[in-house]
Structure 1
Amino acid sequence: MKSYYRQFNWYRWLRIIFLALAGLIIFLNPDKSLNTILYLISAYLIGVGLIALHDGWLLSKSHSDNNSPYTTAVICFLLALLIFPIAHLLLPLLPVLLGIILLINGVNQFFSARANRHYVNVTPWWDYLYSGLLVLVGIALVFNPFDMLRFFFRILGVGLMVLAVMEFINTKLYKK
């Protein structure tokens, strides 16, 4: 039981370090952070793979037939190698695809709000506002993808740093 708890903490601390570094890098310099983030993701995957190898080694010492940690390690190592070519191929398409998805989601949200009205004299203004914002952001991403993408990266960076702080707080709360 103590070994399982230690392994869980290793994963948690690796996640905290990754989230904090990625968030800080993205927030400070969203334009030039792609390669750094890809290296960081690759290092994270290698770290998870190494922890999984250690888990597999501990299981094999206890004469277990469970090979799933080794499978996890191999998948993590392969993803760490493939992340650079895949990311560089898909990144130029990301803002436009995200814009189209948000546009479609906004239109669907609008018609869903109109169709799901339960009361005749109540207008779902918040749903209309939300769907309108989704449509506007979708249009902005389709027609001006890179300026909006920079803004989203900054929001993502702040979000990742907040997640790291929350993960750290949970580590301290559940340590007992």
Structure 2
Amino acid sequence: MNPIDLFSLRERFNQTNIMLCFNGPMSRSLIEEIGNALKNYLTADQAHPAAATDVFGTYIELTQNIRHYTHAKAWSEQDAGATVVISREADGRYVVCAGNLIEQQDGEAVCALVDQLAGLDKAALKALYKEQLRKPRPDASSGAGLGLIHVARTATAPLQATLHPLPDGRAFFSLRAVI
């Protein structure tokens, strides 16, 4: 194995304005601790309070969805890991990206939902959100529903999802939200 060139990695993070990056298993306490660090970074970055709230909320929604999904699958700690990157664009917007292993079929369904949401304007997203609120939810932890719609409403650009198939029937799913 080649040694990790931390200097190059740091330079890449600085060039792309990455504020926070994590790769590994996501526990409830770790989500909370990274969330606290994120709040501190946003404060130090003098983020507008509304933007800071939206970035934090998006981070929480995405990481909790990952945790719930992988927990429901009872995957090993290695397979239940997540990759989370939060950066700031030159125009001042924040980008929250999160990814994890997912069953290929589940990933295709979530990508289709993200594509559907990306095609809606703010008024249509609001209407869809209200419609979802009125629907009965037999399994509140089913994921990729109301919370994802909320993230789409919060985002300043359409959500983007990618799915990279793996040979074992799973895929790596990633979601990008610009706040």
TM-score if structure 2 supplies the norm length?
0.30
Determine which structure has the larger strand proportion and give its number. 2
Determine which structure has the larger helix proportion and give its number. 1
TM-score if structure 1 supplies the norm length?
0.30
Larger Rg: 1
Q: Which structure's relative contact order is higher, taking Cα pairs within 8 Å and 6+ residues apart?
A: 1
